Structure 1
Amino acid sequence: MSNGLEIILLFLVCQAAATDLAWRRIPNVLVLAGLLLALALHWRQGGSGALLGQALAGGAVGLLLFLPLYALGGMAAGDVKLMAMAGSFVGPAQALQLCVLSALAGGVLALAWLALARWRGAVGEGMPYAVAIAVGTIATIALAHR
């Protein structure tokens, strides 16, 4: 993945995390614009369509791995759509890595969120999972550059 794609992806997931923290929502326009941008840029970079296929496969990996968590009520639809968008930037292999790292970050953040909620006496408030996806994305990109 090129540095330009990485910068765009980092901007998008950080914006999603900020809006999820502030309003507990991930705007559909942000996710859709990111998805279309990823597909267009991959199509533009790979003349034969191979990169476009990688983008579609990465989006499918992100969607299919997080969809069961949505179906079980463990996360919101915006989080699933955000993961599909992020996967479309990185391709299927890195999308799998991104999902695992986001899940690990989500576990750590959930423990901290529960401790904070208990301390504040506000248990029951949902955690903004886009923050975990942003952390997982940052870790995935950092690991690609080591």
Structure 2
Amino acid sequence: MLNAIEVILICLVAQAALTDLAVRKIPNVLILSGLLLALILHLLSGPPWAPLSQWLAGAVAGFFLFLPLYLLRGMAAGDVKLMAMVASFTGPLTGLKVAVVSYLIGGALALLLLLFSGRWRQSARNLALICKPLLWRMLGVPLLPVPLVPSASVGGIPYGVAIALGTLAVVAGPHL
């Protein structure tokens, strides 16, 4: 049976996923209220060091697990903050599990969206544009610096959905 903290977390990520689908944005007020709620619940339900060991360590771990994709422009800042909120509820170890499952779900979701939208050819061209200079360089061909030509984006995915599904799988999965 799910405990109250897990039910609250699932409700928050479900709201984030629905908002991400509807307006392609995860509201900061949802994330901040989730972080505050997680802190309060850790203060009330755990040992005195739980806020530091679970809440803060989880939030930092969740944030830094998704930060590289944000820096590579692979996801939005709201997704990174949402993962930090999820990990603040679950703690760093379970947060890592949620992040890995969310990465896998997000990758599958991205492939499905590419196939169904018909933009997989443009995606392949973009990937070739990025990888071609690296391949030539690995083969020892000296390359002159060239300005990066902007290519047409193939669109983004609502990663809040992947995080919500990953959270549901890791948090509620063992209870089924």
Q: TM-score, normalised by structure 2?
A: 0.76
Match of 1:41 in 2: 41
Q: Aligned residue for 2:87?
A: 87
Task: Measure the CA separation in 2 of the matches of 1:125 and 1:143.
Answer: 31
User: Does 1:62 pair with 2:92?
Assistant: no
CA distance in 2, matches of 1:66, 1:4: 26
- Greater CA radius of gyration, 1 or 2? 2
Divergent runs of 4+, >2 A: 142-146
Deviation track 1:101-144 (CA, whole Å, cap 9, x = no partner) reads: 0001111111111112217xxx7221100000011001111344
Q: Which residue of 2 aligns with 1:10?
A: 10
| Structure 1 counterpart of 2:116, one-letter code | L
Give 1:132's aligned residue.
162
Structure 1 residue 45: deviation in Å? Answer: 1.2
Q: Using the alignment, how far apart are the partners of 2:12 and 2:117 within structure 1?
A: 27
Q: Does 1:52 align with 2:35?
A: no
Q: Deviations over 1:49-99 (max 9, x none)?
A: x22121111111110110111011000000000000000000011001010
Secondary structure (helix, strand or coil) at the match of 1:101 reads: helix
- Structure 2 partner of 1:28: 28
Counterpart code for 2:81: K
Gaps of 5+ in 2: 120-152
Mean Cα displacement is larger for which, 39-48 or 65-74? 39-48
CA distance in 2, matches of 1:142, 1:91: 15
Q: What is the distance in 2 between the residues matched to 1:51 and 1:80? A: 23
Structure 2 counterpart of 1:102? 102
2:118 partner SS: helix
Give the match for residue 111 of structure 2.
Answer: 111
Quick check: 1:79–1:129 contact (8 Å CA) kept in 2?
yes
Q: Which structure dedicates a bigger proportion of its chain to helix?
A: 1
- How far residue 44 of structure 1 moved from its aligned partner, in angstroms, is 1.3
Q: What's the CA shift for 1:47?
A: 4.5
Unaligned runs of 5+ in 1: none
Structure 2 distance, partners of 1:7, 1:128, is 22
C-alpha distance in 1, partners of 2:165/2:20? 14
Q: Structure 1: how far apart are the matches of 2:172 and 2:14?
A: 15
Q: How does the TM-score come out when normalised to structure 1?
A: 0.91
How many angstroms apart in 2 are the aligned matches of 1:124 and 1:28? 26
